[in-house]
Structure 1
Amino acid sequence: MTFSVFVKHRVGFYALLWASAVIELGLTGWRIHHTRTEFHNYDPIVAELLVTAALTILWIPVAAAVNARKSKDIVPGTSYTLLNVEGVGNFVLWVMWLVGAAIATHKWPTKVLAGAGRAGHILISLVAFSWISFGVLTLASVFIALHGAALYGGVEVSHAPLREKRESSA
């Protein structure tokens, strides 16, 4: 199976995003368990980050299937439906990660406000991994846009390294 240069990078970003979302899921799960047992309450933003992490974990295999299904068959002038599906799914998750990370950062901007001990470290890690996930998803979305722009412009997307293309054209 051949992959375009844009798909290879997106697969790498999706692998990083999946790992980050799994860590975020564990951190948010621990935080909700801790606050429910200690204080009989939980922070709604932590629940939002939990849902976002779970949806991300479910979305990554779908995006990978979209990439594997049509990446070799997409050529200039064909339908961009699968790129659009991938882009819309990423945009929904992008907004969810942005909202969750921004509100969590506003609520716990420093270690002083997050608290001391393990609970404080978990909150700071939770905020950090939410921003990491947001950033990685942003980079993956940029590569979707680049892929779409290359196809829209009629550029044949390279399946071979640049060195091989130069040798064959000479």
Structure 2
Amino acid sequence: MTDFPALRISFYFASALFSVVLLGLTAARIHYTTHIPLGDPLNSGKDFFDPIVAELLATSILAILWSWFIIHCIHRRHENRFISTFRGELIGLFILWVMYLVGAAIATTFWGKLGWCQMFLPCRVLTALVAFAWINFIIMTFILFIDIAFVVANGGFREPLHGRWDPRASHYGNSNFQWSWSGKTKKTTKRSRFWW
């Protein structure tokens, strides 16, 4: 069986790493368009900024913060009532997924075919920006897929997102006890299973 927490930590680490690269590319693009050098033919030499680059900048910052928070929750077995559950993770992940989809799609519409100007640095920055936006979207899609598959296989929508349900080690709640008609509680052990 695959070590599910380690797999998720590695995907979130890759997401944080590629988001840092995207953060640098978007910052370089915003700096270039707001400080256009003299004699540059872009936009007749007038400063401007691209709103979609600002959206990708904000998305990459949120993705970095979210990735490190989730890595911390998984590694430290952090348990909170809402944010540290699979439900909270899936909501946050879906928001980032939509933001990356919108940013990557619009950036591809504007700068998808820049092969004719690859000798200029701004075109290479835009090409790399589009590529890293799609890479981050693909990583978020993988994380979303494996989280949904794990939640469906284990029925853990409201369980702690660290994915290690050991009743002796978890202080999340008394969800390991079930009520019975005899008035006594029966201790049940929730096992983590995954279909691959």
Query: Which residue does 1:32 correspond to in 2?
Result: 30
Whole-angstrom CA distance in 2 between matches of 1:102 and 1:58 = 23
Query: Which residue does 1:62 correspond to in 2?
Result: 69
Query: Which residue does 1:167 correspond to in 2?
Result: none
Query: Which residue does 1:156 correspond to in 2?
Result: 191
Query: Which residue does 1:21 correspond to in 2?
Result: 19
**Structure 1 pair 114–148 and aligned structure 2 pair: CA distance change class (3 A):** farther
**Structure 1 pair 155–142 and aligned structure 2 pair: CA distance change class (3 A):** farther
The more displaced of 105-114 and 137-146 is 105-114
TM-score relative to the length of structure 2 = 0.69
**Structure 1 pair 40–130 and aligned structure 2 pair: CA distance change class (3 A):** same
Q: Which has the larger radius of gyration?
A: 2
TM-score relative to the length of structure 1 = 0.79
Q: CA deviation at 1:105?
A: 0.3
Query: Which residue does 1:12 correspond to in 2?
Result: 10
Whole-angstrom CA distance in 1 between matches of 2:83 and 2:30 = 41
Whole-angstrom CA distance in 2 between matches of 1:136 and 1:123 = 20
Q: Which has the higher helix share?
A: 1
User: CA RMSD for the aligned pairs?
Assistant: 2.8
Whole-angstrom CA distance in 1 between matches of 2:72 and 2:107 = 32
SS in 2 for 1:15: helix
Aligned length: 151
SS in 1 for 2:85: helix
Do residues 108 (structure 1) and 111 (structure 2) align?
yes
Whole-angstrom CA distance in 1 between matches of 2:130 and 2:87 = 30
Whole-angstrom CA distance in 1 between matches of 2:58 and 2:83 = 29
Unaligned runs of 5+ in 1: 74-78, 163-170
Do residues 138 (structure 1) and 141 (structure 2) align?
yes
Do residues 97 (structure 1) and 100 (structure 2) align?
yes
Whole-angstrom CA distance in 1 between matches of 2:15 and 2:116 = 27
The more displaced of 106-115 and 92-101 is 106-115
Could you tell me the percent identity over the aligned residues?
Answer: 36
Higher relative contact order, structure no. (Cα contacts within 8 Å, ≥ 6 residues apart): 1
Unaligned runs of 5+ in 2: 37-45, 157-188
